[in-house]
Amino acid sequence: MIKKVVTILCFALSFTCLNAQTIKRPNIILFLVDDMGWMDSGVPFGDSSYALNKIFTTPNMQLLAKEGVKFTNAYATPVCTPTRTSILTGMNATRHGVTNWTSPIINNSTDAKDDQFSGANWNLNGVVINSITTYPQLLKQAGYYTIHVGKAHWGPAGTPMSNPLNLGYMVNIAGHAAGHPQSYYGKDNYGNIPNKASYQAVPDLSNYHGTDTNLTEALTLEAIKSLEAPIRLKIPFYLNMANYAVHVPIQPDVRFYQSYLDKGLDTANAKYASMVASMDKSLGDIMKFLTAKNIANNTIIIFMSDNGGLSLSGARGPKSHVQNLPLRAGKGSLYEGGIRVPMIVKWPKIVKPNTKNNQYIIAEDFFPSILEMAGLSQTTTLQKVDGKSFVPYLKNQNLTDSNRYLIWHYPNKWIDGDGPAINYTSAVRKGNWKLIYNLRNGHTSLYNLANDLGEYNDISKNNPLITKQLTLYLKQTLEKNKSPMPFYKSNSKMVEILID
Amino acid sequence: MIKKVVTILCFALSFTCLNAQTIKRPNIILFLVDDMGWMDSGVPFGDSSYALNKIFTTPNMQLLAKEGVKFTNAYATPVCTPTRTSILTGMNATRHGVTNWTSPIINNSTDAKDDQFSGANWNLNGVVINSITTYPQLLKQAGYYTIHVGKAHWGPAGTPMSNPLNLGYMVNIAGHAAGHPQSYYGKDNYGNIPNKASYQAVPDLSNYHGTDTNLTEALTLEAIKSLEAPIRLKIPFYLNMANYAVHVPIQPDVRFYQSYLDKGLDTANAKYASMVASMDKSLGDIMKFLTAKNIANNTIIIFMSDNGGLSLSGARGPKSHVQNLPLRAGKGSLYEGGIRVPMIVKWPKIVKPNTKNNQYIIAEDFFPSILEMAGLSQTTTLQKVDGKSFVPYLKNQNLTDSNRYLIWHYPNKWIDGDGPAINYTSAVRKGNWKLIYNLRNGHTSLYNLANDLGEYNDISKNNPLITKQLTLYLKQTLEKNKSPMPFYKSNSKMVEILID
């Protein structure tokens, strides 16, 4: 009877009762950095602290790591949109088919031109919105106040995927079709200068136009403001805090730049390091706000980057592909430098502070993990979810799984002229084995990450069985998922994975 | 030589010089109200002050009228999206083909079902963006800081037209695909309640969620904040201040509601009047801000509504079609009640204060007028512009034109069951003659607005020549513009205009 009365009351006062029902759900923040490499931090994700870990000043990441667990084998895809789509949908790129970054312009492939291949049949307008259930939608349905701040980049302008409000977010601040800001500077209106604005002019932050406020600071201030509402309403929130930093344009944050020059860094590195410091302050400001509001103990923070650090010369200094050492190469590559990313999870009372977890996990795992954190493991989705929740690893430090396969697939051309495992490459990891497959020529190489993190010793010839096993897994997965593939210009045929 | 140096300097410091070049252009504010009727104001737009003009308390509209000119014969289309599209593009609805309001859902006609007709071939996803040049684009190119606040409603979600940032606006606050708010109440998060949000949940105002701030107040506060940037940057601005008020849902603004009940109004009318008062405060707050910033003298304000006042029973009281008397009918109708709207223009030093202008003008005239105000008369556009600048009437009170034809075309079905000149109707005005053409049966009626503002005396039989002339103009315009037309269900043929 009492239950019935409560139900009737809830019906009458549904908003209030929604609060009561969900008040104990944790708040969740995904702090997703753009293009941040595995080594770009004072937190060592490698076996020991390297020189780079001493150069980057990230006190707030260090504090987060001290209060949580760092994942040393966390993976993204080699470029941003595929990772963001995997997080949003729980699908691997072989399934969602958004294998490359999406243009701000509709129906426009971002693939560079190639002599051998015509473009792959990838989803260049993002996933078809009617074919997916996103986790922000599910969180919102369960009573979460869902907020997106910063870079979205799920689809071109004029497609439903370009607008976070179509994807389950109730609030969108500055997220749209573009993958980077036109400018990080308030003095430049973040690009919104009459007659000079590009597709990358950042929306929504007009209050800071003409001021000295760095974009990362403006996004952080607005993110914090946006949290006032769910706190006031006493409902749990999910914040997708997706800083545009540290993506190009590499523009120094003047609050931190000089200190790196003083440390002796060259201008390119000092500029970049100042953007990392700016991003770290963003994290710290949010953490301080949670503490001030007395909700830090009920708020999960997940720190992650959307792909490896940029390792092209120019923006990142005179020499290419050394920025993520000991990892090989960087953004765009299927070597570890392009896909292995910093990841930290703080979950008060659940995660043991100041710990490390070496289990390999990947972007699509965020979908089921976040839902499990919110108490929503039992949900139905339109799409088949490839990701596996990493929550068990948060709860039990001793759990490991070396039998799982991870797969990467980049049937696209990122830059003119191929680089190390850059352009038309697929890869598979199982345990410590990692296979790199060159789609141009069917060449396979095999590495053992346990003793060759830098992927310099191809041991495929000595290990034909595991090489074949991983190649076969790649072939079967691509076929099963009808994954995008390049086409030969010579005969218009689709590339097929060759098994020796 | 000096000129050359200046040019070089401008090239080097382009943003600064842009300021210098354009600093003397006036700021322009279009204050566009939604669904506000011709009589819903303390400003009498009729020949004398009617009872309704004494009921509505709009001190700020009155102040604006005192400082500017009121147009007594200003026209919109009968529903919102066609008017907004005409303003944006300068095209008459017969040309742009967005003859009805657009759904928030793509490819979804908002026409009611009909026994006689299948749906007209209208542009239900808004105009094709690549076929138009918008005036905000042109203003932005000329150095204006362009801001949209409030209702947009130019196209469904997931189309380029749904996002003001695609249409030449640098800043968009709360404008999207929907034509009305889910709620005017901050306590309702303007609709953004987890799992209860509809397509009409208002974006961008999360700072006010869970507060007592009325939507109209929140939009005004944000609009004022958005003006800080161009003032700081010393560049001219264009503000499209498009309040969602006074569209349904009719939700009383508690700051004003009681005073109307105290005046003896019934609840429906008191609720509506409180929303009008709320809208008027919005206008006043913006005007006060301009004065405080010392820019009122260089800022043009254009006040306008997007169609006639809603005259359906229910939301607007027990009786239908009496809300706009002496004008007949209301929103959705081609009688004057549906299309004649309040309009005021304040342009310091150009417009003679406290004056009245009886020249008939129409929504598409705003396009060339605003451009002329900005000093941009000589512009090229992708589309053919139907509108004529009303700036000459602002500069010369004695100017009149009674030879111009105005045309309205509504080949759609707004409501179940036809109302007075509601559903499948076209109309033409020339001088004081006004023809109403019923697309269902080819019936024509003719009125002389000079002595029959209420359109009750059909004098077509006594004036066959002018009736034929106006009908012929309608027929030729619709054919020339390939305007959308309904199709007979019986034989799938398109309706043709009949000439007696």
Can you give the residue ranges of every domain in chain A?
A: 26-404
Nearest alpha-carbon partner for B280 in B465, B43, B445, B469: B43
**Which among B157, B172, B194 has the least Cβ separation from residue A143?**
B194
Residues of B (131-150) whose Cβ lies below 8 Å from A: 139-147
Cα-to-chain-centroid distance, residue B174: 17
What string of DSSP letters covers A471-490? HHHHHHHHHHTT----EETT
Backbone phi and psi for residue B324, each to the nearest 5 degrees, phi listed first: -110, 15
The token duo for B285 is 């707050």
Residue A5 has a pLDDT of 38
What are the beta bridge partners of residue A31? A241, A303
Nearest alpha-carbon partner for B324 in B337, B307, B314, B315: B337
> In the predicted model, what is the mean pLDDT of chain A?
94
What is the CB-side half-sphere exposure of residue A227 using CA atoms within 13 A? 27
Segment holding A118, helix H or strand E: strand A117-118
Cα→Cα distances A491→A305, A442, A478, A486, Å: 39, 17, 21, 12
Residues of chain A with pLDDT under 50: 1-23
- Inspect the interface and report whether the beta carbons of A159 and B163 lie closer than 8 Å: no
Closest approach of chain A CAs to the CA of B123, in angstroms? 16
Which residue type occupies B362? I
Nearest alpha-carbon partner for B331 in B81, B109, B51, B16: B81
Name, in order, each residue with C-beta under 8 angstroms of B13's C-beta and a sequence gap of 6 or more.
none
Across A186-324, where does the E strand assignment appear? 237-242, 299-305
Name, in order, each residue with C-beta under 8 angstroms of B312's C-beta and a sequence gap of 6 or more.
B320, B330, B331, B415
CB-CB contact of A118 with A487 (8 Å): yes
**Which among A143, A166, A194 has the least Cβ separation from residue B140?**
A194
The beta-carbon contacts of B57-61 under 8 Å, at least 24 apart in sequence, are B57/B256, B57/B259, B57/B273, B57/B277, B57/B280, B58/B276, B58/B277, B58/B280, B59/B280, B59/B284, B60/B280, B60/B281, B60/B283, B60/B284, B60/B287, B61/B280, B61/B283, B61/B303, B61/B342, B61/B344
Which residue type occupies B417? G
Closest approach of chain B CAs to the CA of A181, in angstroms? 14
Name, in order, each residue with C-beta under 8 angstroms of A255's C-beta and a sequence gap of 6 or more.
A214, A274, A277, A278, A281
- Inspect the interface and report whether the beta carbons of A141 and B203 lie closer than 8 Å: no
Chain B residues with CB under 8 Å of A230 CB are 209
- The three-state secondary structure class of B131 is helix
- A199-232 tens-digit pLDDT: 999 999 999 999 999 999 999 999 999 999 999 9
Nearest-Cα residue of chain B relative to residue A189? B229
What are the beta bridge partners of residue A356? A70
How many other CB atoms are found less than 10 A from the CB of residue B356? 13
Task: Flag whether residue B124 sits within 8 Å of chain A, measured between CB atoms.
Answer: no
The token duo for B64 is 């604006």
Name, in order, each residue with C-beta under 8 angstroms of B51's C-beta and a sequence gap of 6 or more.
none
Best residue of A129, A189, A199, A212 to probe chain B, by most B CBs closer than 10 Å: A189
Rounded-to-10 torsion of CA B155, B160, B162, B167: -100
Segment holding B30, helix H or strand E: strand B27-33
The token duo for B487 is 């199709």
Pairing of strands B340-346, B299-305: antiparallel
- The three-state secondary structure class of B310 is coil
Residue A195 has a pLDDT of 87
Cα→Cα distances B61→A305, B34, B220, B309, B333, Å: 53, 15, 15, 17, 25
CB-CB contact of A274 with A298 (8 Å): no
- Inspect the interface and report whether the beta carbons of A141 and B165 lie closer than 8 Å: no
The correct answer on CATH 1.10.8.60 for the domain covering A26-404 is: no
How many other CB atoms are found less than 10 A from the CB of residue A475? 16
Chain B residues with CB under 8 Å of A14 CB are 196
**Which among B144, B210, B228 has the least Cβ separation from residue A232?**
B210
pLDDT in tens, chain B (500 residues): 344 433 333 333 344 444 444 447 999 999 999 999 999 999 999 999 999 999 999 999 999 999 999 999 999 999 999 999 999 999 999 999 999 999 999 999 999 999 999 999 999 999 999 999 999 999 999 999 999 999 999 999 989 999 999 999 999 999 999 999 999 999 999 999 998 999 999 999 999 999 999 999 999 999 999 999 999 999 999 999 999 999 999 999 999 999 999 999 999 999 999 999 999 999 999 999 999 999 999 999 999 999 999 999 988 989 999 999 999 999 999 999 999 999 999 999 999 999 999 999 999 999 999 999 999 998 999 999 999 999 999 999 999 999 999 999 999 999 999 999 999 999 999 999 999 999 999 999 999 999 999 999 999 999 999 999 999 999 999 999 999 999 999 999 999 999 97
How many other CB atoms are found less than 10 A from the CB of residue B279? 27
Residue A421 has a pLDDT of 97
Name, in order, each residue with C-beta under 8 angstroms of A332's C-beta and a sequence gap of 6 or more.
A78, A79, A307, A338, A410, A414, A415, A419, A422, A423
**Which among B143, B166, B226 has the least Cβ separation from residue A158?**
B166
Residue A449 has a pLDDT of 98
Nearest-Cα residue of chain A relative to residue B225? A207
Nearest alpha-carbon partner for B111 in B321, B304, B332, B295: B332
Pairing of strands B340-346, A355-357: unpaired
Give the whole-angstrom CA distance, residue B467 versus residue B408. Answer: 16
What string of DSSP letters covers B327-391? S-S-TTBSSHHHHEEEEEEE-TTTSPTTEEEEEEEEGGGHHHHHHHHTT--S---SSPP-----H
Residue A500 has a pLDDT of 78
Cα→Cα distances A363→A77, A117, A351, A367, A380, Å: 8, 28, 20, 8, 20
Whether the complex's predicted ipTM surpasses the cut of 0.85:
no
- A116-142 tens-digit pLDDT: 999 999 999 999 999 999 999 999 999
The strand order across the sheet containing A444-448 reads A405-410, A425-430, A433-438, A444-448
Q: What pTM was estimated for this model as a whole?
A: 0.89
Give the whole-angstrom CA distance, residue B500 versus residue B160. Answer: 43
Give the whole-angstrom CA distance, residue A247 versus residue A35. Answer: 5
Give the whole-angstrom CA distance, residue A393 versus residue A398. Answer: 8
Chain A residues with CB under 8 Å of B208 CB are 229
- The three-state secondary structure class of B487 is strand
